[in-house]
A and B are shown apart, each in its own frame.
Chain A
Amino acid sequence: MSTVVFESVTKMYGQTPAVKDLSLEIKEAEFFVIVGPSGAGKTTTLKLTAGLLPLTSGKLYIGGRLANSLSPAQRNVAMTFESYALYPHMTVQDNIANPLHSPGMNLSESQIASRVHEIAEMLGMGQLLERYPRELSGGQKQRVALGRAMVRRPSIFLLDEPLSHVDAKVRQHMRIELNRLQKELKTTTIYVTHDYVEALSLGDRVGVLNHGELIQVGPPEEVYSRPLNEFVAKHLGQPEINLIDVIVTSRNGTVLLQGAKNPKLQFVLEGKRAQVVKEANCPNLRIGIRPHKITCAPVEAGALIGEVYVFEPAVISGQLMVDFGGYMLTVLTKASDRFRIGQKVGFEVSPNDVYLFDPQTGKNLEAAR
């Protein structure tokens, strides 16, 4: 039983709340990712779980047991830090073995050696055991830190931005490794990151945190495609979602949304969606359109027409910025497409791909809480 349950957990630093009324259940063997900008309360949440910080109020259960007053050692959790925190004077082998020498482990030297080798093998570090941390690359150091966490066979892993200091290529490789490792070990994992790509690709579920508040929890596909509010929509996805202020006009059973700065930008909503907008009773809305949901189309045929501000090719998809009469929209194009600056370009958006946000509260009108 390696579940983690937060019940109305709050952590105050003086008068400032770092985590506000957090309620969350993390399941046995789950890979749970907490994502948010810096200062969101991510690391504080991990430290509360590890027992490195006391709760201000609320209850924390680990493995079904109230853990509020348990020491870090009693919680049987292992935490890695962004800065690796390796002992510089010890070899890789000794760094990994270190937690096994702590009192209470009662392991023989040969048992320790076999565990260290098992872990080193798993992480592909067999050849590095005799090296010192200063002789390792960032990716290798992070692997040692993971090894040191794994060697104790804890019931829960707490990982704090483990990939933020390694270069892009190593990061991608480590991401795959972590994914595979966690599925093999089936150890409940809480992973903290500011990088939405890591969150989406690693998490069984993702929790989005901002200003100490948990905004949305769900599987990656759900959080990405049905964001509860503007913040979640903006934070997950690169290039960022296009946000456009529109004016709402009701006509019989339908609703017309028109760009506040350019009335040619318009969408008609029907049926249930029109009803949702009418019930919200907002004269203005902010709509959101993901860059890859905008399709380039011929200039004729009544499509929306804009002018290319800049085009940046890439290997998988190009990135186009289009000046559409007062709006600068970002569009992800097919890899083979090419555009010239100043060129007129048509584009199409299905009304189904348009998110509707309340401009005051930022709430997604269609996301039932």
Chain B
Amino acid sequence: MSSITLKHVSKTYMSEGRRVEAVRDLSLDIKDGEFMCFLGPSGCGKTSTLRMIAGLEDISNGEIYSNDKLVNYLSPQERNVAMAFETYSLYTHLSVRDNILFPLRARRVAREEMQRRLATVVDMLDIGEILDRSPGNLSGGQQQRVSLGRAIIREPDVFLLDEPLSHLDVSQRIALRARIKRLHSDLKRTMVYVTHDQMEAISLADRIAVMRFAELQQVGTREELIDYPENLFVADFVGEPPMDFLKWEIAQKQGRMVVKSPVTNTELQVPESWRSHFLGLGMKSVILGIRPHDIHLVKEPGDSQLNGTVNVFEFLGETNYAHCSVGSDEVTVVVDTHTSLRRKEEVSLFIRPERMHIFDPKTERCISSVLKKREIS
């Protein structure tokens, strides 16, 4: 059992004579037994962070602790972590059974103990039928299960998983994702998981650390990232379909605060409790963010907050998307499977004011998230 603490961790390396910062001043507490995802686009530093935790990369600056013990100078073996990678790195000349048992043979674990552990792993991963096969004859999903088995059988304190699902087709990905989530619950071990796929992070993690350009942007639960994004990048990167963004203005109007389109007369009222704060800021331009599932669509046009016209309607089976123009802007709306819309159809759109997100276009910080969090606490 293990917690992991990163204190001001940085990673720099030299590339073609230039200093490149892969991770900058990262501080984060990963709790004992927690499922933590590092999420971000490629090159954001998430894999470098994982490799530093594993001991596969030197730490340029800062400290990493496991259970309050400094591990900066421990070898990967001394850290008692197990890794699974994007590529499965199985031994093709060994059977599935021998691949899984390999780490135990290397450690000279007793025979009965090996068999006991193998039985548990086989049960957890449902691989009993492929034990005698060679990895070369397995599907990607099966190979990744074997690779997970090889990590699990070592009974490490911490699992480090680097994009384990990224090479699988959709069906296999969804099936293995569920299995990994269940494994975490069964094993009750700390898991650190790296992905560029926000859906994976949302479905798996207890908390998600979003990274960009070597820096931690925000760390929080899925609800925190969705409802209280700290900045424009997090708001845009997390959530599907992505948040709608409108370049609007904020203004006083008859004693109320509204956000309005600079081009048309479309406007939305800002919650009263936010007013004094925005007055104090004295800003004009804002970016208004609305999650597509926070917009309620009614088929009849009429007395609504926003009048929209359907540009593109997408039937997706389990859910539908309507892409509507509102004045000179365009928003995506999630509608239920029973609602079917035609192109050019006029609709009414409703948004609860407290579901709006208001960003400062200069700093890209989300001002409304700060206000909402303040109201809760």
Q: Does A20 contact B (CB under 8 A)?
A: no
Q: Which of B185, B226, B317 contacts A196 (CB 8 A)?
A: B317
Q: Does A85 contact B (CB under 8 A)?
A: no
- Are B343 and A183 interface neighbours, CB within 8 A? yes
For B174, list chain A residues within 8 Å (CB).
Answer: 238-239, 319
Contacts A168-B240, A341-B182 known; A237 to B226 CB distance under 8 Å?
no
For A311, list chain B residues within 8 Å (CB).
Answer: 181
Contacting B at CB under 8 A, from A277-316, are: 290-292, 309-316
* B338 shortest CB reach to chain A, Å: 11
Q: Does A200 contact B (CB under 8 A)?
A: yes
Q: Does A71 contact B (CB under 8 A)?
A: no
Contacting A at CB under 8 A, from B52-107, are: none
- Are B312 and A312 interface neighbours, CB within 8 A? no
Residue in chain A with minimal CB distance to B319: A316
Residue in chain B with minimal CB distance to A239: B174
Could you tell me the distance between the alpha carbons of A292 and B199 in the complex, rounded to whole angstroms? 18
Q: Does B279 contact A (CB under 8 A)?
A: no
Could you tell me the distance between the alpha carbons of A172 and B236 in the complex, rounded to whole angstroms? 13
Q: Does B301 contact A (CB under 8 A)?
A: no
- For A, the interface residue count at a CB cutoff of 8 angstroms equals 37
- Are B177 and A312 interface neighbours, CB within 8 A? yes
Inter-chain contact total with CB atoms closer than 8 Å: 85
Q: Does B271 contact A (CB under 8 A)?
A: no
- For B, the interface residue count at a CB cutoff of 8 angstroms equals 36
Q: Does A34 contact B (CB under 8 A)?
A: no
Residue in chain A with minimal CB distance to B330: A176
* A89 shortest CB reach to chain B, Å: 25
Q: Does A335 contact B (CB under 8 A)?
A: yes
* B262 shortest CB reach to chain A, Å: 21
- Please, what's the 1-or-0 string for B309-353, where 1 marks a CB less than 8 Å from any CB in chain A? 001101111110101000000000010010010010000000000
Contacting A at CB under 8 A, from B152-199, are: 170-171, 174, 177-179, 181-182, 185, 197, 199
Contacts A175-B314, A180-B312, A196-B317 known; A312 to B242 CB distance under 8 Å?
no
- Are A314 and B199 interface neighbours, CB within 8 A? yes
Could you tell me the distance between the alpha carbons of A215 and B188 in the complex, rounded to whole angstroms? 47
Contacts A221-B340, A238-B174, A341-B182 known; A292 to B202 CB distance under 8 Å?
no
Residue in chain A with minimal CB distance to B314: A201
Chain A at the B interface: SS class: mixed
Residue in chain A with minimal CB distance to B320: A201
Residue in chain A with minimal CB distance to B185: A341
Contacts A221-B340, A238-B318 known; A316 to B293 CB distance under 8 Å?
yes
* A196 shortest CB reach to chain B, Å: 7
Could you tell me the distance between the alpha carbons of A169 and B321 in the complex, rounded to whole angstroms? 14
- Are A315 and B317 interface neighbours, CB within 8 A? no
Q: Does A224 contact B (CB under 8 A)?
A: yes
Q: Which of A179, A291, A313, A332 contacts B222 (CB 8 A)?
A: A313
For A175, list chain B residues within 8 Å (CB).
Answer: 314
Q: Which of B203, B323, B337, B343 contacts A313 (CB 8 A)?
A: B203
Contacts A169-B242, A341-B182 known; A236 to B317 CB distance under 8 Å?
yes
For A169, list chain B residues within 8 Å (CB).
Answer: 242
Most chain A Cβ neighbours within 10 Å, of B177, B185, B314, B321: B314
Residue in chain B with minimal CB distance to A240: B171
Q: Does A321 contact B (CB under 8 A)?
A: yes
Could you tell me the distance between the alpha carbons of A201 and B335 in the complex, rounded to whole angstroms? 14
Could you tell me the distance between the alpha carbons of A317 and B334 in the complex, rounded to whole angstroms? 11
Contacting B at CB under 8 A, from A241-285, are: none
- Are B318 and A237 interface neighbours, CB within 8 A? yes
- Are A312 and B317 interface neighbours, CB within 8 A? no
Could you tell me the distance between the alpha carbons of A220 and B321 in the complex, rounded to whole angstroms? 14
Q: Does B241 contact A (CB under 8 A)?
A: yes
Contacting B at CB under 8 A, from A163-212, are: 168-169, 172, 175-176, 179-180, 183, 196-197, 200-201
Given contacts A172-B240, A313-B202, A315-B239, 18 further A-B contacts (CB under 8 A): A169-B242, A176-B312, A183-B343, A200-B316, A201-B314, A221-B315, A238-B174, A309-B178, A310-B178, A310-B179, A312-B178, A313-B222, A314-B203, A315-B202, A316-B240, A316-B334, A317-B319, A332-B318
29 inter-chain pairs at a CB distance below 8 angstroms, sorted by A residue, are A169-B242, A172-B240, A172-B241, A180-B312, A183-B343, A197-B317, A201-B314, A201-B316, A201-B321, A236-B317, A237-B318, A238-B171, A239-B174, A291-B318, A309-B178, A310-B181, A310-B182, A312-B178, A312-B181, A313-B202, A313-B203, A314-B203, A316-B240, A316-B293, A316-B334, A319-B174, A319-B203, A335-B293, A341-B182
* Interfacial residues, chain A to chain B (CB-CB below 8 A): 168-169, 172, 175-176, 179-180, 183, 196-197, 200-201, 220-221, 224, 236-240, 290-292, 309-317, 319, 321, 332, 335, 341
* Interfacial residues, chain B to chain A (CB-CB below 8 A): 170-171, 174, 177-179, 181-182, 185, 197, 199, 202-204, 222, 226, 239-242, 291, 293, 311-312, 314-319, 321, 323, 334, 337, 340, 343
What 9 A-B pairs are tightest by C-beta distance, nearest first?
A: A312-B203, A201-B314, A310-B182, A179-B312, A341-B185, A292-B318, A310-B178, A310-B181, A220-B315
